[in-house]
Amino acid sequence: MTSTYLAAPPAVTPRGDRTRRRRRPRVAMLRRWVSPLLILIVWQLLCMAGILDERTMASPTQIFGRAVELIQDGMLGSAILVSLKRVGLGLAIGGTIGLVLALVAGLSRIGDDAIDPPMQMLRTLPFLGLIPLFIIWMGIGETPKVALIAMGVAFPLYLNTLAGIRGIDRKTTEAARAMHLTWSQRIRHVVLPGAMPQVLTGLRQSLGIAWLALIVAETVSASSGLGYLINHARDFLQIDVIVVGLAVYSVLGLVTDALVRYLESRALAWRA
């Protein structure tokens, strides 16, 4: 007597389920725009009703019109490029320093004893208060601005990366040693993947501090950039230009944070 085994048909996802799954991120993105749009509408209505004086707070329509004028003049575009260059350099320098020091301190007891105490001492300093010293040491050019951003970036990345390295399961590192992996192979295949969630968290925090440091750096002895644009507008009481500059700062911060979040979703796809 023979028995016939029928293989179960492969599970087929209904087309409706796939469509709903694709719609979910779009719906979530639209929901995140509801409250900002409501704020803009209320702001505009308050200005139109005269509750907000346009001499102290310009309306959204005035700000939008001035932003268009600054874009057409090329002033806003050039200021954004200068600011992005400063943030990029500071992030690259400070991020590299923070990551390297965290790796040394996290993988070596001697490195931890040598690096962590001074880093913990320096991170308690109000780094924005170091601007006068930076100007005395480095002048009023680009160097003190980039140095200030780099210093603000280094500490969150260092602390988060160090915490991620220390949080790696000891059994994983022991297995790597048992497999006779070299030091570089352990870093590439064990340390960096294990610490990646904390590294990306530190990167998001560092980007926020980088924009904060840029705002302060560009309002001190700057001749270009968004901060210079805001300072120049302050001297002439151009409220709409000031708000345009601040809005651009916030938009750039949101865009860079969204890029890191996208990188996080790709690099940490294994996390449900």
Instruction: With respect to residue 177, please indicate whether it lies within any of the assigned structural domains.
Output: yes
Instruction: Tell me if the pTM is above 0.75.
Output: yes
Residue pLDDT tens, the chain, 272 long:
444 444 555 555 555 555 565 566 667 667 777 888 898 899 889 888 888 877 778 888 888 888 898 899 888 889 999 999 999 999 999 999 999 999 899 888 898 889 999 998 888 888 778 888 888 888 888 888 899 999 999 999 999 999 988 888 777 777 777 787 777 777 777 877 778 888 888 898 999 899 888 888 887 777 788 888 888 888 888 888 888 988 888 888 888 888 888 887 777 766 65
* Residue pair 122/143 in contact by the 8 Å Cβ criterion: no
Longest dimension (CA), the chain: 98
In a domain, 208, yes or no: yes
Q: Residue 117 sits in which domain range?
A: 58-267
| Token representation of residue 19 | 């469509």
> What are 116's two structure tokens?
């962590």
* 95 touches 157 (CB < 8 A): yes
Q: What is the CATH number of the domain that holds 204?
A: 1.10.3720.10
Evaluate whether residue 172 is within a structural domain.
Answer: yes
Total count of domains within the chain: 1
Which residue has 């951003």 as its token pair? 149
Q: In this predicted structure, what is the pLDDT of residue 27?
A: 72
Asked, for residue 101, whether it belongs to a domain, the answer is yes
Q: Is residue 3 part of a domain?
A: no
Asked whether residue 251 is domain-assigned, the answer is yes
CA dihedral of residues 221, 225, 229, 230 (deg, nearest 10): -70
Residue 20 resides in a domain: no
51 inside domain:
no
